[in-house]
Amino acid sequence: MELMQAILTRRSIRSFERDKPVPKEMIRTLLQAAMRAPSARNQQTWCFVVIEDREILDTIPTFSPNSKMCESAPMAIVVCGDLKRESQQEGFWIQDCSAAIQNILLTAHSLGLGAVWTAVHPKSNHVSNAQKLFSLPAHIVPLAIVPVGWPAEKVDPVDTFDPKRIYLNCWGDEYPF
C-alpha cells in the first residue's frame, strides 16, 4: 500500500478476530517500523513488550477501561519509554514513543491488520498498574498499549482535513490553497 493511501485510509480498529493470531513475521515488521521512527537526539528511548497471553490481554481493561478492545485482540504492543536512555532531552521519550506508535499504526494498516492507540501515561494509576502487570522496572514507563489483530469491523475513512486550521506565517492569516 502506498504511504499516502495508508495515511488517508487508516482508522482506529476496536474489534478484532480474537482467535486469529498475528504471524510472528508481521509482529517483527511492526516493531521494525516502530524502531525506524524519529528520535530526539537519536536516543531511541522506546522499548516494547509484546503481549500474546490471553489472560494478560483480558486483565488490561480492569485498570485501563479505554483498552477494552484488548479483550478481542490476539495481541498488543506496550510502547514504553526507557528513562535511563534519556540524557539532556528529559521528557522527549514521549515524542519518541509517539512517533513509534504512529509507525506501528500505519504499518499495521498497510499489512491488512487493525490497531488502536490506547493511552496509559499520564494517568499515574494506569502507569503503576501496567508496570506491575507487565513486570516493568521503575525506569520503564508505559506510554500506550496498542491492541493489534485482524479487523472484525470495517471503519470507513473520514476526511479530517480542515484548511481553516492552517495559517501562513502567523496566527490568523489563512493559508492560500
What are the Cα distances from residue 24, in Å, to 27, 29, 31, 48, 77? 5, 9, 11, 15, 13
Look up the domain containing 58 and give its range: 3-165
pLDDT reading at 88 higher than 80: no
Q: How many domains does the chain have?
A: 1
pLDDT > 70 in the chain, percent: 99
Does residue 127 fall inside a structural domain?
A: yes
Does residue 60 fall inside a structural domain?
A: yes
Does residue 62 fall inside a structural domain?
A: yes
Does residue 174 fall inside a structural domain?
A: no
Q: Are 166 and 174 in contact (CB under 8 A)?
A: yes
Does residue 172 fall inside a structural domain?
A: no
CATH for 108: 3.40.109.10
Three-class SS of the chain = CCHHHHHHHCCCCCCECCCCCCCHHHHHHHHHHHCCCCCHHHCCCEEEEEECCHHHHHHHHHHCHHHHHHHCCCEEEEEEEEHHHCCCCCCCHHHHHHHHHHHHHHHHHHCCCEECCEECCCCHHHHHHHHHHCCCCCCEEEEEEEEEECECCCCCCCCCCCHHHCECCCCCCECCC
The tens digit of pLDDT for each residue in 102-143 reads: 999 999 999 999 999 999 999 999 999 999 999 999 999 999
Does residue 176 fall inside a structural domain?
A: no
Average pLDDT value for the chain = 95
The tens digit of pLDDT for each residue in 42-87 reads: 999 999 999 999 999 999 999 999 999 999 999 999 999 999 998 7
Does residue 173 fall inside a structural domain?
A: no
Does residue 177 fall inside a structural domain?
A: no
